[in-house]
Chain A
Amino acid sequence: MLLSAALFMIGVFGVMVRRNIIIIFMSIELILNAVNINLIAFSAQLQDAIGQVFAIFVIAVAAAEAAVGLGIILAFYRNKETVNIDEMNLMRW
């Protein structure tokens, strides 16, 4: 539980402070994995397989999310020649 909490906080911190979108992406993966660890831990403690099944679902969704996210980053990089998150303000009003 502590490990998962630490991992989660590291991920959140990474998302908040880093400028490189790749690093942010990796931090998101960390958050997801922290959630997975949490799910597994509760599953083991409560002797319930549902948690593990859920974790596997999360991993699958994370894989898909990674594919989509990397695709977006690639397309962005092709346009802007950068991976700096501060340059990504096209949605500003």
Chain B
Amino acid sequence: MSERGGPREKVKEDDGTLGMKYIWLIPLFPLLGAAINGLVGIRSFSRRMAGYVACTTMIGALGLSLVAFWQLLGLPPEARAYDVVVAPWIPNIPLATRTGIGLFNVPWGFRLDPLSGLMILVVTGIGTLIHVYSTAYMADEPRGGVARFFCYLNLFCFFMLMLVLGSNFLVMFVGWEGVGLCSYLLIGYWYEKKSAADAGKKAFITNRIGDWGFILGVFLVYTTFGTFDFRRVQDAAAAMPIEAGHFGVLSAICLLLFIGATGKSAQIPLYVWLPDAMEGPTPVSALIHAATMVTAGVYMLGRNAVLFQQAPEVMTMVAIVGVLTALMAASIGLVQYDIKRVLAYSTVSQLGYMFTAIGVGAFSAGAFHLMTHAFFKALLFLGSGSVIHAMAGEQDMRRMGALKKYLPVTFATMMIGTLAIAGIPLLSGFFSKDEILFQAFLHNKAIWAIAVVTAFMTAFYMFRLMSMTFFGAYRGPSWETAGHAAVSVAALHGAPHPADPHAHGRAHRKEHEVTHGPAEPHDQPHGAHALAGTDQGVGVPGVKDDASSGHGHGAWHGPHESPPPMTFPLMALAVGAIVAGFVGVPAAIGGNNAIEHFLEPSFTATHVEGRAEPAAAEPAGEHEAPHASRQVELGLMLFSVLVAVGGIALAYRFYVTKPEISEQLAERWAGAHRLLLNKYYVDELYGATVIAPTFKSARGLWTVDRNLVDGAVNGTGKLTVVSSWFSGLTDRTIVDGFVNLVGWIVQESSHGFRRLQTGLVQNYALLMLFGIFAFVGIYLVMR
């Protein structure tokens, strides 16, 4: 921790901020837990032990985060940034940049500032609660599976903390990729199930497209600024002119980073993976795919707020993409029946809100909404997990209803979450959402209008979810008969069922839909059929539990409240969902919007480069805020509350008092309904435009490979064989032939010559005599 940020750091140490020196320990705690569970736990830990290890490490990280955050709060606002360099990572490598040769050196640096402080609290706080929740939710899993689950979950927290604490782009990228990996591992946690494995792949590959943009952006950052450090990049960027009206290098960087963010945070056009990611266990959906990982994109944009403020064109793009995503996802959420899918689309929609906030320059509003959303969406997901748990794996809201009396705690907490997300006053979602709406109103009326429509839809679909789940008549299977019926059914179904007992209902329903065509719930006889089908579907896991895993429930005795480890996090999150908003009470109704002032330093360049520049780069809203009259803000608030209440009332009317209205509507607007039910056919569109051509081209390339490349190789091989055959032939006939010929000649001639050797001395002597005579004769003649 030497060379960088020297003077500032010295000052800090004088202040005695001891705890902040150890922020690098925060990610290490979950890593330790992951290592223990992964290396030892999978083989030898009991379920309980694995859960304890994971929770303990998370509580440790939470404690350290609280201490560090507390000390951060104790500092004066301008000084709230603290760097720690743990170790060098990449040593000095000379590398060309745009302005000459820079030294490419990257340390394992961590930075604690208001934004990352907020994020570590969210990650460790919600992470801890979800770990506790998981100990109960995953209790039916096989022993090694639980340890594996907690190993991944801890590993995820490690990477997420790396992501938010990293002080330069590369450390952030390590976390960025790491959370993607953990997301993949956890979505595909029930890897025997094909849909889960496919969803994991889809998430990973879609994220890869975003990561491509991110890493390109990071490269461009380096060639432009010659450093990866966030603070230095921001200072350098703040000194550059604002790229209004033209598309310069800053805009390019921002656009590439934004592509990265759309992948991770599930925005158009890369949002398709998030709804499918619901194949993972529900705590995973809550932690990764609602509260933390998907907000990484928002965090990253916030982290680079200075860059984005210099590139207004891209900001506009971000706002448009954000608000369109919000609208689109909310409209899909209106008609989905899978409880988790509704929440997934709701998440996409809320992330769209955050991007809208960033796009209109309200970075702190985005981060604020990120925090409140983390609370109430984690709460809603955990609540839905509790419902699914109670219904023994059923996720279809058409087979729930009237669960209020069976699940009082879940109902109460989920109701708080729903009201929060809908934007009912005094709950957290109200403050953050209205902040965004207000900023959008100041920035662009069209964006505001779309956002308000989305808010209405949000209120509607969330209350639709609540109504279908907790109110009305009970539409689930009757459990008195389950015991007997299930035995025979289990015998019938016998061997092949997925490892996940919670998934049974789903699997069965899928099968059901296959046989009866796409879900058309308004067809009355079909509905009856569906009920009959479920009767069998749900009985199976109950019996399985009883027989094999010895799980306490025995046969399924109907919906039941979840055990305390599950309800406690629900209650804690409900409290969070209520109070989290009070840090950002807007000035218009007497608050001081503490969070905005708190986060402000993270979104502006440092004082070193001169205060004037970032101030000029502030979004218009900041300036207009004083004279954008308080009445306007109050009016907007009132309006959005009315909208939310309207949505709730409409949903209540449609799904509780007069359930037939929704069906009539769906029939009248059958085309639109089908469009929404099939999610605008985006998956099919991607399938047709990207995936099918990819497959086709892969097939084509394979053919080319087989015929051309393999052909060339095989041809060479064949040529060699033929030529070697010829050379063999030559060798055999000519070379060997010559040698054999010599041998043959010698052999043949020896027949004649051997006669000479009679062994008779006198013969030899006679020959010698002839020879002498011959020589003498020749001699005489020649002379």
Q: Are A85 and B761 in contact (CB under 8 A)?
A: yes
Q: Are B757 and A15 in contact (CB under 8 A)?
A: no
B492 contacts A by Cβ under 8 Å: no
- Give the A-B pair count, Cβ closer than 8 A: 28
Quick one: which of B744-766 are within 8 Å of A by CB?
A: 754, 757-762, 765-766
Closest to B753 in A: A93
In the complex the two chains form, what is the Cα distance from A86 to B758 in whole Å?
A: 10
Q: Are B757 and A91 in contact (CB under 8 A)?
A: yes
A92 contacts B by Cβ under 8 Å: yes
Q: Are A91 and B762 in contact (CB under 8 A)?
A: no
Contact of B762 among A15, A90, A92, A93 (CB under 8 A): A15
In the complex the two chains form, what is the Cα distance from A88 to B757 in whole Å?
A: 13
Q: Are B762 and A16 in contact (CB under 8 A)?
A: yes
Contact of A15 among B754, B758, B760, B765 (CB under 8 A): B765
Residues A88 and B761 in contact in the complex (CB < 8 Å), given A16-B766, A16-B769: yes
Q: Are A85 and B758 in contact (CB under 8 A)?
A: no
Contact of B757 among A16, A24, A85, A93 (CB under 8 A): A93
Interface residues as binary, A11-37 with B (CB distance below 8 Å gives 1, 0 otherwise): 010011000000010000000000000
In the complex the two chains form, what is the Cα distance from A12 to B769 in whole Å?
A: 9
User: Could you say which residues of chain B place their CB within 8 Å of the CB of A86?
Assistant: 760
Q: How far is the CB of B350 from chain A (nearest CB, A)?
A: 110
In the complex the two chains form, what is the Cα distance from A38 to B766 in whole Å?
A: 23
A47 contacts B by Cβ under 8 Å: no
User: Could you say which residues of chain A place their CB within 8 Å of the CB of B769?
Assistant: 12, 16
Closest to A88 in B: B761
User: Could you say which residues of chain B place their CB within 8 Å of the CB of A90?
Assistant: 759
In the complex the two chains form, what is the Cα distance from A39 to B177 in whole Å?
A: 115
A79 contacts B by Cβ under 8 Å: no
User: Could you say which residues of chain A place their CB within 8 Å of the CB of B754?
Assistant: 93
In the complex the two chains form, what is the Cα distance from A53 to B769 in whole Å?
A: 28
In the complex the two chains form, what is the Cα distance from A90 to B769 in whole Å?
A: 22
User: Could you say which residues of chain B place their CB within 8 Å of the CB of A24?
Assistant: 761-762
Contact of A92 among B757, B765, B766 (CB under 8 A): B757
In the complex the two chains form, what is the Cα distance from A86 to B762 in whole Å?
A: 9
Give the interface size bracket for B toward A.
10 to 19
User: Could you say which residues of chain A place their CB within 8 Å of the CB of B761?
Assistant: 24, 85, 88
Highest count of chain A CB atoms <10 Å: which of B761, B765, B766 = B761
User: Could you say which residues of chain A place their CB within 8 Å of the CB of B762?
Assistant: 15-16, 24, 85
User: Could you say which residues of chain B place their CB within 8 Å of the CB of A92?
Assistant: 757-759
A45 contacts B by Cβ under 8 Å: no
User: Could you say which residues of chain A place their CB within 8 Å of the CB of B760?
Assistant: 85-86, 88-89
Q: How far is the CB of A67 from chain B (nearest CB, A)?
A: 19
In the complex the two chains form, what is the Cα distance from A91 to B759 in whole Å?
A: 5
Q: How far is the CB of B769 from chain A (nearest CB, A)?
A: 7
In the complex the two chains form, what is the Cα distance from A91 to B754 in whole Å?
A: 12
In the complex the two chains form, what is the Cα distance from A89 to B769 in whole Å?
A: 20
User: Could you say which residues of chain B place their CB within 8 Å of the CB of A16?
Assistant: 762, 765-766, 769
26 contacts between A and B (CB under 8 A): A12-B769, A15-B762, A15-B765, A16-B762, A16-B765, A16-B766, A16-B769, A24-B761, A24-B762, A85-B760, A85-B761, A85-B762, A86-B760, A88-B759, A88-B760, A88-B761, A89-B758, A89-B759, A89-B760, A90-B759, A92-B757, A92-B758, A92-B759, A93-B754, A93-B757, A93-B759
In the complex the two chains form, what is the Cα distance from A31 to B762 in whole Å?
A: 15
Quick one: which of B473-516 are within 8 Å of A by CB?
A: none
Quick one: which of A60-93 are within 8 Å of B by CB?
A: 85-86, 88-93
**Contacts A16-B766, A90-B759 supplied; 14 other A-B pairs, CB < 8 Å:** A12-B769, A15-B762, A16-B762, A16-B765, A16-B769, A85-B760, A85-B762, A88-B761, A89-B758, A89-B759, A91-B759, A92-B757, A93-B754, A93-B757
Quick one: which of B722-776 are within 8 Å of A by CB?
A: 754, 757-762, 765-766, 769
Q: How far is the CB of A35 from chain B (nearest CB, A)?
A: 14
User: Could you say which residues of chain A place their CB within 8 Å of the CB of B766?
Assistant: 16
User: Could you say which residues of chain B place their CB within 8 Å of the CB of A89?
Assistant: 758-760
User: Could you say which residues of chain A place their CB within 8 Å of the CB of B765?
Assistant: 15-16
Closest to B758 in A: A92
The 6 A-B pairs with the shortest beta carbon distances in the complex, nearest first, are A92-B759, A89-B759, A91-B759, A93-B757, A93-B754, A15-B765
In the complex the two chains form, what is the Cα distance from A44 to B764 in whole Å?
A: 35
